[in-house]
Amino acid sequence: MPTNPLVALDRDHLIHPVVNYRAHEQRGVTILESGHGAYLRDTQGTELLDAFSGLWCVNVGYGQQSVVQAAAEQMAKLPYATGYFHYGSEPAIRLAARLVELAPASLRHVYFTLGGSDANDSAIRFITHYYNSTGRPQKKHFISIERGYHGSSSQSAGLTALAVFHQNFDLPLPSQHKIPSPYPYRNPAGSDADAIIRASVAALRAKVQELGRDNVAAFFCEPIQGSGGVIVPPKGWLKAMGDACRELDILFVVDEVITGFGRTGPMFACEAEGAEPDLMMLAKGLTAGYAPMGAVLMSDRVYQGIADGVAPGVPVGHGYTYSAHPVSAAIGLEVLRLYTEGGLLANGIAQAPLFEQGLRDLLEHPLVGDARSRGLLGALELVADKSTKARFDPALKLHERIADAAYRNQVIFRAFGDNVLGFAPALCYTQADFELLFARLKKTLDEVLDQPDVYR
Ligand code: PLP
C-alpha cells in the first residue's frame, strides 16, 4: 500500500503533545479522518471503537449534527467577540448563566478559558488576588495531591504531580505542595473507606499545620484522579476534604475537567457527594471537544473579593484573546442541551452498570489486579502478581504493547505507563457498543498475555 504523504509531513513538521518525539518519528502518525457516534475511522480505512472519548472529552460522541449546526450558525452570525472593553456575546452570557444553574449552589460566577490548564492557572491567579485584596496576602501556598493532574501550563503543571511534567522545569514551585493520593488499591491505610478518608483528612491537616494556616491559600483536587491512573476515592471522600478545608480556613477547589458533564453519572461529581467548592474548573465535556473551551466557576465570596480590581481603576491583569469565544460558547450550549434534554446524561447513568460489570468480569483475567469505575469513568490495573500487587518490569513496555494490540483489535483506550488502562466511553454508548468493547478488550489482553516474556 503506498505510504500516505501526510505521514512524512507529520514527521518533518508537526510536534505532538506528550509524545517521545524520536519514537514518534520512527513509528509514524496514525491519522484519524472521521468519526460517528462512538466510532472513529483512520486514513487506512480502519474503524476503531473509541473507549476514551478522544482524550476524555467527546462525551456526546462524534458527528452530532446539531452541534455542527450551532457552530456554523454562530460562525456565520459572529465568529468572534472580545470580552475586553466591556464587550460580550449572547452565547457566552447564556452559557455562563446555564452553568451556574447546573453547578453546585455555591458557584455563581464564571470565567471562560481555552481549556483545563489555563482554567487551573486562572484559578491560582484569582485566588492569589482574592487573598491580596481581602487583606491576607501571605496566603500564597497551594496544596494538591500526588498523582493529580491539573494541566501543563507553567503554574498548573506544578499542581500536577506527575514527574514528567516537572522535569527540567524547576517545578513544583516552592509554593506548591502535595499530600498522598487516596489510592484505594495501594493505600497504606488499607482499603477500608473510612480509613482512607481519615488518612487524607489527616494528611491535609498536617500539611496545613506544617505550612501554617495563615500561609495556605487553597487545596486543589480531582473528584477522581484521571491521568494519575483513574483513582476512585471512596464515596464521602470529596465532601470530607471540603469540610476539612472550611475548618482549616483554606479554599476548596475542585477540578472537574474530566469528571464534569455526566462522566461519573450526575452533571458534576460534586453533586453526588453534596460537595460545595469555592472554585471549580471545567473543560473537555463543556464543549465535548468540538471546540476548545474551559471555565473557572467561583463563589460569590471569592468574586466579591476580586471585583474591585487591584486598586481603584486598576483591573486584575488576567485575560485571553479567546476567553468566552462565541463559537465555543454556542457549541457548549448545544452540548449541554444534548446532556439534559437530549437524554445523554440519562443514557450514561443507564449504561454505567454494564460498564462496571464488564470491568469487574475482567478481574478473572490473569493480568488484571484491580477494576474500578464510577459512572462511565473506569480503569483496569494490570499487575505481574495479584497477591503482592507487584507491577510489571517497566522494561517490558507493556503499555505500548497493549496500545498496539488494542489498535489491531480496533479499540482505543489509554494505556498508562504503570499499566493502568483508562476508559471513558462516550455517554451515547449502547449495550452493543459495550459488548464490542469488552470482546475487543479481552482479545487484546489475551494476546498480550500470550507474548512469551509477559507472564510466567
Ligand atoms: N485538569 C484535569 C483534571 C485534566 O484531566 C486536564 C487534562 O487532561 C487538565 C486539567 C488540563 O486540561 P487541558 O489539557 O485542556 O489544558
The ipTM, to two decimals, is 0.99
Q: Report residue 271 as a C-alpha cell.
A: 453533586
> Does residue 169 lie in a domain region?
yes
Select from 291, 316, 339 the last residue of a domain. 339
Is any ligand 1 atom within 6 A of the Cβ of residue 331? no
Ligand 1: residue whose CA is nearest its atom 12: 116
Ligand 1 pocket residue status of 448, Cβ below 6 Å: no
C-alpha cell of residue 10: 507529520
| Ligand 1: nearest atom to the Cα of 118 | 16
Gap from CA of 412 to ligand 1 centroid (Å):
19
Question: What pLDDT is recorded for position 415?
Answer: 96
Indicate whether 23 belongs to any domain.
no
Query: Which numbered atom of ligand 1 lies nearest the CA of 153?
Result: 16
Same domain for 118 and 43, yes or no, is no
Question: By percentage, how much of the chain surpasses pLDDT 70?
Answer: 99
Summarised one tens digit per residue, pLDDT across range 153-172 is 989 999 999 999 999 999 99
The per-residue pLDDT for 147 is 98
Ligand 1 pocket check for 149: Cβ under 6 Å:
yes
The rounded Å distance from CA 293 to ligand 1 centre is 11
Residue 1 clears pLDDT 60, i.e. is over it: no
Nearest-atom index, ligand 1, CA of 283: 15
For residues 322 and 381, state if they share a domain: no
- Do 178 and 141 have their domain in common? yes
Q: Are residues 205 and 235 in the same domain?
A: yes
Would you say residue 184 lies in a domain?
yes
- Taking residues 103-108, report their average pLDDT: 97
- Residue 348 in any domain: the answer is yes
| Contact partners, residue 62, CB within 8 Å, separation at least 6 | 34, 35, 36, 37, 38, 39, 40, 50
Q: Quick check: is 328 in a domain?
A: yes
Instruction: Read off the pLDDT band of 310 (50, 70, 90).
Output: confident
Question: Above 60 in pLDDT, residue 22?
Answer: yes
* Mean pLDDT over each residue of the chain, to the nearest integer: 96
Q: Does residue 121 line the site of ligand 1, with CB under 6 A? A: no
Residue 410 has pLDDT above 70, yes or no: yes
Ligand 1 pocket test: pick from 150, 156, 293, 322 the residue with the most ligand atoms within 8 Å of its Cβ.
Answer: 150
61 lines ligand 1 (CB under 6 A): no
- Residue whose CA lies nearest to ligand 1 atom number 5: 258
Q: Name beta bridge partners: 411.
A: 49
Say how far apart CA 182 and CA 193 lie, in whole Å.
10
> Residue 429: which CATH number?
3.90.1150.10
Does the C-beta of 144 come closer than 6 Å to ligand 1? no
Q: Give the residue-averaged pLDDT of 176-180.
A: 98
Report if residue 57 sits inside a domain.
no
Helix/strand/coil for 344: helix
Is 1 within a domain?
no
Q: Is the pLDDT of residue 2 over 70?
A: no
Q: Residue 456: is its pLDDT beyond 90?
A: no
Centre of ligand 1 from the C-alpha of residue 155, in Å: 13
Q: With bands split at pLDDT 50, 70 and 90, how would you rate the model's confidence at 454?
A: confident
Report the C-alpha gap between 284 and 52 in whole angstroms.
12
Distance CA 202, CA 188 (A): 13
Q: Mind listing the pLDDT tens digit for each residue in 193-218?
A: 999 999 999 999 999 999 999 999 99
Centre of ligand 1 to C-alpha 447, Å, is 32
| Residues ≥6 apart with Cβ < 8 Å to 45 | none
Given 304, 339, 374, the domain boundary residue is 339
Residue 455: the pLDDT is 65
CB 178 within 8 A of CB 201: no
Query: How many domains does the chain divide into?
Result: 2
Task: Among 339, 356, 391, identify where a domain stops.
Answer: 339
Length of the chain: 456
Ligand 1 atom nearest to 115, measured from its CA: 15
Alpha-helical (H) ranges within 30-184 are 53-56, 65-77, 90-102, 116-133, 156-159
The best mutation among 58, 122, 145, 149 to test binding of ligand 1, ranked by most ligand atoms within 8 Å of the C-beta, falls on 149
Residue nearest to atom 13 of ligand 1 (CA): 116
Residues 322 and 359 grouped into a single domain: no
Task: Indicate whether 325 and 397 sit together in one domain.
Answer: no
Alpha-carbon distances, residue 179 vs 193, 241, 257 (angstroms): 18, 12, 20
Residues 171 and 209 in one domain: yes
Q: For ligand 1, is residue 53 a contact (CB within 6 Å)?
A: no
Tell how far the Cα of 281 is from the centroid of ligand 1, in angstroms. 9
Residue 219 backbone phi and psi in degrees, to 5 = -115, 125
Q: HSE-up of 413 (CA within 13 Å, CB side)?
A: 32
Structural domain that includes position 47:
31-51+343-449
Q: Is residue 291 part of a domain?
A: yes
* 395 pLDDT higher than 70: yes
Domain check: are 217 and 326 in the same one? yes
Q: What is the pLDDT of residues 327-338, one digit of tens each?
A: 999 999 999 999
Q: Is the CB of 54 under 6 A from ligand 1?
A: no
In a 13 Å sphere around the CA of 399, the CA atoms on its Cβ side amount to 17
Dihedral angle computed from the Cα positions of residues 420, 371, 254 and 187, in that order, rounded to the nearest 10 degrees: -80
Do 301 and 366 lie in one domain? The reply is no
What CATH number does residue 308 fall under? 3.40.640.10
State whether 253 and 384 are in the same domain: no
Atom of ligand 1 nearest to the CA of 148: 3
123 CB under 6 A from ligand 1?
A: no
Q: Which atom of ligand 1 is nearest to the CA of 222?
A: 3
227 lines ligand 1 (CB under 6 A): yes
Are 350 and 304 within one domain? no
* Residue 380 sits in the same domain as residue 334: no
pLDDT digits (tens, 9 = 90+) for 227-264: 999 999 999 999 999 999 999 999 999 999 999 999 99
